[in-house]
Structures are given as structure tokens and as C-alpha cells.
Amino acid sequence: MKVSGPRWDAAGGVHRLPSLDGTTGTLLACAVDVVGPDPEVALDEFAVDTVVCLMERDDLDRRFPGYVRWLDGAIGGSRAVWAPAPDHGVVPDVEAASLAADVRSRLERGTTVLLHCGAGYGRTGVLAVQVLASGTGCPGGRDLEATLAAVRTARPACGPQSDAQHEQLWRLCGDGIEGPSREGA
């Protein structure tokens, strides 16, 4: 569900994703264009406790060098997690699962977490679905397809944008085997 006003429309807006069962934390998603120009303004406006940046340094350096400096200074505290992943790609499963567990833990503590990648759809959606589908651990959490549908309802087009991303979700949050074809996804 979109929670931002017209000011952020050109950047794709900020969307609240489905709630994590039994928690008071809030999961938000956006594009780097919301956070990159002035992270403190964006985080203050949406009452964000932690931003999770999924972009690689080279991509950020070209567009938002000030944001790179902010991330470098904020890492290690509670304000930022920088977990770069290649555009349309994935990181090793163990890294992806660890990041999802970290975000989940933050939500369970009642914090507001803002996820973003370049456009706020692919890498952001993969992490969001993994966090929400994981329950107390994958497999065995929420139904993966239902979770993906709920995330896409909250932020249209949010979710895996490549076979590698789709397959990783099925490995980590499905039944441990390759999922159905991406056709129609």
C-alpha cells in the first residue's frame, strides 16, 4: 500500500508491505531515488529506524555519492544495513537467509525497516518475500506464492525479476526444490 504523497511519485513512491505475523514492526519498500538524495529527510518523513540498501557501491557512487558516505558512516549502528546484490541477481543463499533473518529480527523488535534497491522492485521484493514467507524458518513459514502475491498487491511489480531470483526464493522459502515456471509471474 502506497504511504507516500505526490512528492515521491516520480521516484516510484514508498509502499508499506504486508505485516509480519505477530510483530509491530513495519516493512517499507522504495527506490533509491527516495533515499539517495537525502537519507535523513526520507528516513525522518517515514519514521524509519533502519534502511537496508541492496545496491552495489559502483551503482550508488555514480548517482548518489553523498548517500554512499552516509551509508559508510551509518553501518555498524542501527540506521543502516548495506547488503549489496547484483541487479537482477542474487547473493549466496546463506547470505540471503542471514539478511532476511536480520530484517525479521528488527521487525520483531517493532522497528520500521525500509528496503530499497535501484527501482525498489527486484532485489527489494526478493528480500521482502523471503522475510515474510520465512516464518520461524524456511521452509514451513507462510505459503510462498501467497506471500509473493501479497507483496505485489502492496507494491505492484515487486518481486523476483529474473530466473535466479525466482529460483532462490523457491530454494529458501518454498519446499526446497525448484518452483514452478516463472511464466505469468
In a domain, 36, yes or no: yes
Number of structural domains (the chain) is 1
In a domain, 184, yes or no: no
> pLDDT 10s per residue in the chain (185 long)?
999 888 888 888 999 999 888 889 999 999 999 999 999 999 999 999 999 999 999 999 999 999 999 999 998 788 999 999 999 999 999 999 999 999 999 999 999 999 999 999 999 999 999 999 875 444 445 688 889 999 999 999 999 999 999 999 999 987 644 444 444 44
Q: How far is CA 121 from CA 28, 73, 95, 158, 179, in A?
A: 12, 26, 19, 4, 20
| Burial of 22 (C-beta count, 10 Å sphere; 0-12/13-18/19+) | exposed
Task: Print the domain residue range for 21.
Answer: 6-173
In a domain, 136, yes or no: yes
In a domain, 178, yes or no: no
In a domain, 180, yes or no: no
Residue 12 region by backbone torsions, left for phi larger than 0, else alpha for psi between -120 and 50, else beta:
left
Q: Give the SS3 label for residue 51.
A: strand
Q: What does the alpha-carbon distance between residue 144 and residue 56 come to, in Å, rounded to a whole number?
A: 27
Q: Give the SS3 label for residue 175.
A: coil
Q: What pLDDT is recorded for position 142?
A: 63
Tell me the CATH number at 144.
3.90.190.10
Q: What does the alpha-carbon distance between residue 111 and residue 106 come to, in Å, rounded to a whole number?
A: 6
